[in-house]
């Protein structure tokens, strides 16, 4: 359940955990949090040939693309929370809302605001396997790939970024580049942001693992847990964080969440949850196509 970007290269994403919450950030403002973790295997199976017009900036890596409904020009590297010391926090949320059957082993553990607009594109290393390209416009991403280590640098399909620019107008987009060949549970990616739509939580779930433009009319296989929360939530599933929570992350990880595990097939799309329902302990996500699709 994710969108990869290298055409002709099959990648496997499994055991995905999505987390979204409304929280009071370190500066005292209400912000939204998005957490994403999965087991990823790059270049799974046969790698087909790719025509030369798609191989500019090409390397041996791959990447997944995540959109954020953040207020334009408010997200920077400072919005990424460091999860090196707490790799299992999203796994703990998944166990809280959807415990795995005893016969199935758990996955192996392997506020500041800018006074001026941030750069249009930022490239930086995140926790674990990812190098992130964060862009205010997804069409600016291809030109920045020269800053990504060649081992993680994906071959890109320009039409995919054109589609994201049309589908998610004004949204910030993160390209998360990786290069591992064996299936590996990545460190969670955890971000905070000031939302364009404070009344709802967004969880990216659009799916296509081949580097092509996702088919919005398709039904896609899913393998993930969705967990949501709010500082206003009364009740929910208590989360037991096995390794504790670093002080810097405490405002962004809720002590209780609601959600469920998904399998089988669903219509292609993202998840949207109304916060007034979440605050009442009601988990009723809507499977939604991109806002301008």
Tokens 């659009």: give the residue. 206
- Triad 63, 68, 73: Cα angle to 5°: 110
What pLDDT does residue 204 have? 95
What pLDDT does residue 12 have? 59
What pLDDT does residue 45 have? 44
What pLDDT does residue 234 have? 87
Q: What is the pTM of this model?
A: 0.86
In contact, 47 and 59? CB cutoff 8 Å: no
Contacts of 101 (CB under 8 A, 6+ apart): none
Instruction: Supply 120's token pair.
Output: 């249009």
Give, in order, the Cα–Cα distances in Å from 235 to each of 79, 254, 259, 281, 282: 28, 11, 12, 7, 10
Q: What size, in residues, is the chain?
A: 293
Q: How many CA atoms lie within 13 A of 234 on its CB side?
A: 3
What pLDDT does residue 127 have? 73
3-class DSSP state of 200: strand
Give the rounded distance of the alpha carbon of 237 from its chain centre.
22
Per-residue pLDDT of the chain (293 residues; tens, 9 = 90+): 566 666 666 555 677 899 999 999 988 999 999 999 987 655 544 333 232 223 333 456 788 899 999 999 999 999 999 999 898 999 999 999 988 664 444 443 434 444 567 889 999 998 778 899 999 999 999 999 999 999 898 888 889 999 999 999 999 999 999 886 665 677 899 999 999 999 999 999 999 888 899 999 999 988 889 999 999 998 999 999 998 999 999 999 999 999 999 988 999 999 999 999 999 999 999 999 999 99
10 Å CB burial of residue 283 (0-12, 13-18, 19+) is: middle
Q: How far apart are CA 58 and CA 72, in angstroms?
A: 29
Q: What sign has the CA pseudo-torsion 79, 84, 87, 92?
A: negative
Give the rounded distance of the alpha carbon of 15 from its chain centre.
13
Q: How far apart are CA 250 and CA 84, in angstroms?
A: 14
**Residues forming beta bridges with residue 63, ordered by sequence position:** 177
* Residue 121: its H or E element: strand 121-125
CB atoms within 10 A of CB 104: 8
What pLDDT does residue 194 have? 97
10 Å CB burial of residue 49 (0-12, 13-18, 19+) is: exposed
What pLDDT does residue 252 have? 97
3-class DSSP state of 226: strand
Domain parsing of the chain, residue ranges: 12-288
DSSP 63: E
């Amino acid at each position: 359940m994710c969108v990869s970007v290298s055409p002709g290269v099959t990648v496997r994403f499994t055991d995905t955990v999505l987390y979204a919450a409304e929280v009071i950030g370190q500066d005292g403002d209400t912000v939204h949090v998005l957490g994403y973790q999965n087991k990823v295997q790059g270049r799974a199976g046969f790698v087909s040939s790719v025509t030369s017009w798609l191989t500019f900036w090409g390397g041996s890596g791959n990447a997944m693309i995540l959109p954020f409904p953040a207020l334009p020009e408010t997200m920077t590297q400072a919005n990424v929370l460091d999860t090196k010391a707490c790799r299992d926090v999203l796994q703990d949320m998944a166990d809280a809302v959807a415990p795995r059957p005893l016969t199935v082993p758990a996955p192996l553990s392997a506020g500041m605001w800018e006074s001026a607009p941030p750069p249009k594109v930022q490239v930086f290393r995140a926790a674990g396997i990812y190098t992130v390209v964060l862009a205010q416009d997804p069409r600016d991403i291809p030109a920045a790939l020269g800053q990504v280590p060649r081992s993680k640098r994906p071959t890109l399909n320009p039409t995919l970024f054109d589609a994201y620019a049309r589908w998610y107008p004004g949204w910030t987009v993160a390209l998360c580049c990786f290069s591992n060949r064996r299936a590996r549970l990545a460190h969670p990616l955890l971000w905070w942001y000031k939302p364009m739509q404070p009344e709802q939580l967004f969880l990216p779930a659009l799916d296509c693992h081949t580097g092509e433009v996702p088919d919005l009319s398709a039904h896609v296989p899913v393998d993930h847990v969705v967990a949501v929360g709010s500082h206003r939530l009364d009740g929910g599933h208590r989360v037991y964080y096995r390794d504790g929570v670093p002080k810097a992350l405490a405002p962004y990880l809720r002590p209780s969440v609601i959600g469920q595990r998904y399998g089988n097939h669903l219509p292609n799309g993202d998840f949207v949850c109304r916060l007034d329902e979440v605050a009442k302990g009601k988990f009723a996500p809507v499977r939604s196509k991109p806002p301008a699709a």
